[in-house]
Amino acid sequence: MAKSTGPEGERPDQPRHPRRVSAKRRTRRPAGQGAVIQRGDGRWVGKIRQPDGSARWFYGKTQAEVEARLAEALRITGAGLPLPDGKLTVGGWLQEWLDGLPVTGERRKGLKASTIDYYTRYAQQVMRSPLGAKPLAKLEAVDLEKLYREMLDRGLSSTSAHHLHAVLHRALGKAVRLGRIARNVADLVDEDARPQVDHTEMRVLADADYDRFLEAVKGERLEALYVVAAREGVRQGELLGLKWANVDLDAGTLQVVGSLQGARRSSLTIGEPKTRHSRRSLVLFPETVEALRAHRARQLEERLVAGSMWEEQDLVFANRFGGYVSTTTLCRDFDSILRRAALPDVRFHDLRHSAATDWLRGSMHPKVASERLGHASTAITMDLYSHMSETLQRDAVAEIVARQRARRQAGDA
């Protein structure tokens, strides 16, 4: 019967070169605990028998190193798990993990296309780095800490590094559950070395800037889109996935039931909103209804001009041929409007924050504002818009003082 060999075909008592090197020391171990020997060239070798009967060899410069690796292997096999594949690389596993992610379909639950694009974007950063070629079984927490430091040194934000850590933690967690590795080293990254989210101060269009923006968008082809974003707090994806079937202009209401998803035009689709609470019904402000009526009339004219080239999808905000509006074009046009009106440089998403700020300053109850935004709780809303706390307190105190004065004046009369 052929003797077991190591991963490179060598026996522990036979070197690769012709000169014979005999084992000069063997450490006695209890039955079933493997074997450790020191070869004649000074190198230490460990051997363990796997549950399927095959042998697995471990090599090291010191006895302690081999003993530690052997102990870890025995712990894994003792738990009924297979030993990690020594040939599987970090990049190889990340690609395997990405390929196995479930995509949302008509008859099954899964991940949104935008979520998979998000995972792919961060995973590919690791796959293209030197760390991608490292054996998955040899990945250590220090490797991840070094990766995060390098990202920050290249000028990437701490938030980006934080997202990468979250993606790696998820991917490695799946590897643990499948028995590809024994532990999730992302859990072992030192707290001080874990990248944190940058909490930058929220920027909004408020007061005079808010009014100037609504004035600046008048006459724009997508004027109604900007009005719905700034007055109703609807997210960009929800706007681009909105259909006329979900708008009742006579009743002055709008139903948010979907969101445009996908990073590439070929993969664009309307899927579920961001969260369960994002499905919501909005009572529209009068100026929003007016803007949507004008927009619908303009869209009917564009449809006549496009003729057979019109792509009927019932989209409220479509391009000139009925298809999805390009987010790149939308953001470029939005930035142009801000520059022409000499307004602060804010993101499109900040229109949602601007809407909420205007509501709260206008004495809308936080509970109502939370429901309109699609938040899971009022606490989330008030934490997000904490910059409004002092204003709300002042308004509440002023209202109480006014009522007290009214009571006193009525009593004096």
Whether residues 159 and 228 fall in one domain:
no
The CA distance from 390 to 342, in Å, is 28
Total domains, the chain? 3
Confidence (pLDDT) at 106: 44
Average of pLDDT values for 181-190?
89
Tell me the CATH number at 331: 1.10.443.10
Confidence (pLDDT) at 179: 77
Per the domain annotation, does 387 fall within a domain? no
Whether residues 173 and 220 fall in one domain:
no
Per the domain annotation, does 180 fall within a domain? yes
pLDDT in tens, 75-97: 877 766 667 667 889 999 999 99
Higher pLDDT pick, 405 / 303: 303
pLDDT in tens, 366-413: 899 999 999 989 888 888 777 666 666 777 787 788 888 888 888 776
Confidence (pLDDT) at 387: 63
Average of pLDDT values for 280-292?
97
Tell me the CATH number at 110: 1.10.150.130
Whether residues 227 and 172 fall in one domain:
no
Residues 6+ apart with CB under 8 A from 278: 235, 238, 256, 259, 374
Q: Which of 96-105, 194-203, 265-274 is the most confident on average?
A: 96-105
Confidence (pLDDT) at 10: 45
Whether residues 125 and 70 fall in one domain:
no
Confidence (pLDDT) at 166: 94
Per the domain annotation, does 113 fall within a domain? yes
Whether residues 224 and 185 fall in one domain:
no
Whether residues 217 and 248 fall in one domain:
yes
| Residue 334: closest CA among 203, 202, 227 | 227
Q: Is the CB of residue 122 less than 8 Å from the CB of residue 156?
A: no
Average of pLDDT values for 145-163?
88
Confidence (pLDDT) at 116: 86
The CA distance from 312 to 333, in Å, is 24
Per the domain annotation, does 255 fall within a domain? yes
Higher pLDDT pick, 222 / 151: 222
Per the domain annotation, does 189 fall within a domain? yes
Whether residues 5 and 94 fall in one domain:
no
Which of 55, 81, 107 is a domain's end point? 81
145 pLDDT higher than 60: yes
Which of 167, 193, 219 is a domain's end point? 193
309 pLDDT higher than 90: yes
Residues 6+ apart with CB under 8 A from 37: 12, 13, 23, 25, 26, 27, 44, 45
Average of pLDDT values for 194-203?
74
Higher pLDDT pick, 180 / 333: 333
Per the domain annotation, does 382 fall within a domain? no
The whole-chain average pLDDT of the chain stands at 85
Q: Is the CB of residue 25 less than 8 Å from the CB of residue 38?
A: yes
Q: Is the CB of residue 118 less than 8 Å from the CB of residue 131?
A: no
Lowest mean pLDDT segment, chosen from 59-68, 226-235, 279-288 = 59-68
Please write down the long-range contacts of 244-249, taking CB distance under 8 Å and 24 or more positions apart.
244/296, 244/314, 244/315, 244/316, 245/314, 247/292, 247/316, 249/289, 249/292, 249/293, 249/296
In terms of phi and psi (left: phi > 0; alpha: psi -120 to 50; beta: otherwise), the region of 111 is: beta
Question: Range of 298's domain?
Answer: 208-362
Per the domain annotation, does 391 fall within a domain? no
Whether residues 230 and 269 fall in one domain:
yes
Per the domain annotation, does 25 fall within a domain? yes
Share of residues in the chain with pLDDT > 90 (%): 48
Average of pLDDT values for 34-55?
82
Confidence (pLDDT) at 272: 78
Whether residues 107 and 184 fall in one domain:
yes
pLDDT in tens, 102-125: 876 544 467 877 788 889 999 999
Whether residues 286 and 239 fall in one domain:
yes
Which of 362, 384, 405 is a domain's end point? 362
Whether residues 49 and 106 fall in one domain:
no
Q: Is the CB of residue 151 less than 8 Å from the CB of residue 172?
A: no
Whether residues 252 and 296 fall in one domain:
yes
pLDDT in tens, 8-30: 444 444 444 444 444 455 566 66
